[in-house]
A and B are shown apart, each in its own frame.
Chain A
Amino acid sequence: MNEVTFYKESHIPGRLAEFWFRFQKHQTAMIGLIFLVIIAFVALFAGVLAPHDPTFQNPEALLLPPAWDTNGQVTYLLGTDDLGRDLFSRIIYGARLSLGLSLVVVLIALTLGIVIGAIAGLFRGIVEFFILRLMDIILAIPSLLLAILIVAIIGPGLPNAIYAVAIVLIPHFVRIIRASLLEEMAKDYVTAARLDGASKLRLFTHSILPNILPPIVIQTSLAFSLALVDIAALGFLGLGAQPPNPEWGTILSQSRDFIQLAPWTVTIPGIAILLTVLSINLLGDGLRDALDIKGSKI
């Protein structure tokens, strides 16, 4: 009767539930997440949502200002470009390209990063030395310059841009994975698994990987925003997606000449890039706070 329960919770939430609890308290991160979900939705259903074909050229509606302008038309919500293509539809289809391509790039970099990082961390010695030096060298070359170099040599175009950006992102993953791997390897639970006779592969996938997920997740969010900006930058320089592809950076580079005549063709695609990158970064901030034990202590 007199027993007082000091602990309100009768069950201990799982890792994922606890993470979500901390994450959803982070208001700005939730805004970022919601915005990203909307963009992802728009990208997936671009075909249904876009009012026009993104490459259809309407010679009757060249450089039409957005609908809220006195000269604008409601059918062209965000106006048209110099060839009479609907900007709104191009942005929507561009979301598919920008988001999809960055996702592909990040997945490539993440997979290769985990494999190379794990090899470096698990086998040590001369293998590790060469891997690390190679990564240092890649890091020493400015990322966009390296991407430009690769594109320049294997030729411009979307697939090449993807390889280039992915290669640029790999070293960050390798470093983080190797560092957290070594940190975990020194801990007793890994020793225990080793004494049980676990193979190196099993040790990595079953014991270590679940415990180094937080830094990997955070690095992934960082890489995602970097990939998005770099792909857009390559598109802007004319080395990535080629016109008439409605990639955001490519749209920007084409509208450069009309900056005075039709400023909306410059501002609107840029806002799309900025908002998307911003929400990824907001999301990343929230992830860091929710995952990092050190950070959550205030």
Chain B
Amino acid sequence: MIKIILKQLLFLALSFIGITLIFFVLTRLVPGDPVVVYFGNIPTETQAYEDAYQYLGLDNSAIEQYFIYVQHVLNGELGRSRITGNLVLNDFLNFFPATIELGVFASIIALVFGVLAGVAASVYKNTWIDHSVMSISLVGYSMPIFWWGMLLILLCSITLGWTPVAGRLSYIYDITPVSGFMLIDTLLAYPKYGLSAFVNALQHLILPSIVLATIPLAVIARMTRSAMSEAFSSDYILTAKAKGVSSFKIIWVHALRNASIPLITVIGLQSSVLLTGAILTETVFAWPGIGKWMVEAIFRRDIPTIQGGVLLISVVVITVNIAVDLMYSFLNPKLRRPQ
């Protein structure tokens, strides 16, 4: 176990070096004066320009510049947005909860319905249930989700009027952000609005979550089906049946526990898929999360924001991946204890 953790920490360190190196090289590749790239148009020959020049260590060799950059990153100095002048780290922390809220909600949808559909398909293998799960999941897997989002807006919001078109909350509610999570903040505002604000937030959340959950749900359903089918064909399932274990327990305990081992890896990989999806989903639904923040930064050529944002997002993804790896080794007894 300790060996696994050490290995993961080493990987984390290496990834950090790699990612910062890539970003350093890429940003120095941007045509133009690095000072201008980072800090916007500062007239040369002024004290401010001189300070910025010193801050980036541009007097030094490229290698030393890299180390100065790494030092800044480690200190949490990711710079200021060239457009708004806000600290990139603060912006990230402001926008991140909205993305987490969306991502967590979407993950729950994907996990619950994906596993249910996959288990149903494996239990009723080669029946119409199996065939429909497999066909629908293939369509879901092939879905360009930005279009899927627009389609759902067209259907549920414009035609049927069930859900709001965009955003996190109707403008009639004035919620003071406490946690940054709208579902929690609207509940905290219970004395002011009762449940109506919470319901409104939920209505805003549901469509983007479905869109974001689509691809992971399809992947999880297919993966669950194949992992469960493999478990069902094992001898230990025969043993359990012969012992008189109920079908329910065979499916949900004996088979699923073993199927969950390959499943965990797949679910872990979905965190990256989710963040990619979040960029598109947030753009379609005008959801004020990091995806939308990033896209806007790109259009404004706000290099410090892009650089800092992608770095932070990568750190999140790598951390999630490591957590998944640890969970994997915890769930798989063969890895936890040697022979």
Binding site for B on A (CB under 8 A): 133-134, 136-137, 139-146, 148-154, 225, 229, 232-233, 236-239, 249, 252, 256, 259-260, 263, 266-267, 269-270, 273-274, 277-278, 280-282, 285
Contacts and interface: CB of A to CB of B under 8 A. Distances in A.
Given A140-B318, A148-B295, A152-B298, A229 B144 contact: yes
Given A133-B18, A145-B279, A270-B144, A259 B273 contact: no
B321 A277 contact: no
Contact of B276 (A143, A269, A285): A143
Interface in B224-276: 272-273, 275-276
A164 B19 CA distance: 16
B267 to A, nearest CB: 15
Contact of B146 (A146, A233, A277): A233
Given A136-B11, A281-B138, A281-B142, A142 B153 contact: no
B317 A277 contact: no
Contact of A144 (B19, B138, B143, B280): B280
B74 interface: no
Given A145-B276, A153-B29, A252 B146 contact: yes
Contacts of A274: 139, 142-144, 147
Contacts of B144: 229, 232-233, 249, 270, 273-274, 277
A278 B313 CA distance: 30
Contacts of B14: 133, 136-137
B9 to A, nearest CB: 14
12 contacts: A136-B11, A137-B14, A139-B272, A140-B318, A145-B310, A145-B314, A154-B29, A232-B144, A236-B283, A238-B299, A249-B146, A270-B148
A250 to B, nearest CB: 12
Contact of A136 (B15, B26, B153): B15
A137 B150 contact: no
Contacts of A133: 14-15, 18
A229 B147 CA distance: 11
B10 to A, nearest CB: 10
B336 interface: no
A143 B29 contact: no
A77 B299 CA distance: 35
Interface of B: 11, 14-15, 18-19, 22, 26-27, 29-30, 138-139, 141-144, 146-148, 150-151, 153-154, 158, 272-273, 275-276, 279-280, 283, 294-295, 297-299, 301, 303, 306, 310, 313-314, 317-318, 321
Given A153-B30, A252-B147, A273-B147, A140 B142 contact: no
A143 B283 CA distance: 17
B294 A148 contact: yes
Contact of B272 (A142, A154, A269): A142
Nearest to B310: A149
A229 B214 CA distance: 14
A134 B18 contact: yes
A274 B215 CA distance: 13
A179 to B, nearest CB: 15
Given A140-B19, A285-B138, 18 more contacts: A148-B295, A152-B298, A152-B301, A153-B27, A153-B30, A153-B303, A233-B144, A233-B280, A236-B283, A249-B146, A267-B154, A269-B147, A274-B147, A277-B142, A278-B139, A280-B142, A281-B141, A282-B138
B198 to A, nearest CB: 28
Nearest to A275: B142
Contact of B158 (A153, A225, A260): A260
A270 B151 contact: yes
Given A142-B276, A285-B138, A137 B298 contact: no
A256 B166 CA distance: 13
A146 to B, nearest CB: 8
A258 B52 CA distance: 45
The list of the 3 closest CB pairs from A to B, nearest first, reads A270-B147, A137-B18, A144-B276
Nearest to A267: B151
A141 B19 contact: yes
A277 B138 CA distance: 10
Contacts of B283: 236-237
A142 B275 contact: yes
Nearest to B29: A153
Nearest to B139: A278
Nearest to A279: B142
Nearest to A134: B18
A151 to B, nearest CB: 7
A133 B26 CA distance: 18
A239 B298 contact: yes
Contacts of A260: 158
A140 B316 CA distance: 9
A142 B298 contact: no
